[in-house]
Amino acid sequence: MKKKKKIFLLISAIIIISLSLIFKYKTNNEKVKIPKPDDISSITFIRVINDRGVEKREVYKKSHINKFLNIIKDSEKTKKISTSNFPDKEEFIIVTFKIKDGGFIISSIYEENNSIYFEQAFNDIFKLNYNDNLYLLLDNISPKNNKEDISVNIEDLLDSDF
């Protein structure tokens, strides 16, 4: 009888641990993966139209970086999966997080069916809980006088330091 009780307790413990790990993996997998604010030195937004970068904005202020990160954090994972570096759209925004220790993290945002999406290349796509359009979102994060007109092929953007 004691042997059956030990086996039952062991199996119960294994099941509880397994369910806990599955639940933890499932809930962590639903969240957007972005760098911590203190790890970011700047965020660059490049507006792309027909595979050409046409406008560039850079954000350095912590308050602007935090504002954008909070908008991204307040998003919902969709069932869509990213299958390329950039969305297959005529118009979108490249979002580049410049990391203080070196390197970049490149993502994109775009508008579709009156919703705004944040796409992590070859990973997940998240729907932002933001009511305005994409350009009002950028104006809300970055001052309007912070725009720089550019004309660069999208392939050349990948080779640059943003």
DSSP per-residue string spanning 108-142: EEEEETTEEEEEETTSEEEEE---S-HHHHHHHHS
3-class SS shares of the chain: helix, strand, coil, % to 5: 35, 40, 25
Q: CB neighbours (10 Å) of residue 18? A: 10
Contact 134, 46 (CB under 8 A): no
Section 128-143 average pLDDT: 79
pLDDT-based confidence at residue 122 (cuts at 50, 70, 90): confident
pLDDT at 47: 92
pLDDT at 26: 55
Mean of all residue pLDDT scores within the chain: 84
Q: Name the region of 85 (left: φ>0; alpha: ψ -120 to 50; beta: rest).
A: alpha
In angstroms, the CA 40 to CA 55 distance is: 21
Provide the H-helix boundaries in 30-131. 62-73
Token pair for 76: 């919902």
State the maximum Cα–Cα separation within the chain, in Å, rounded to a whole number: 79
63-92: per-residue pLDDT in tens?
999 999 999 998 999 998 888 888 989 999
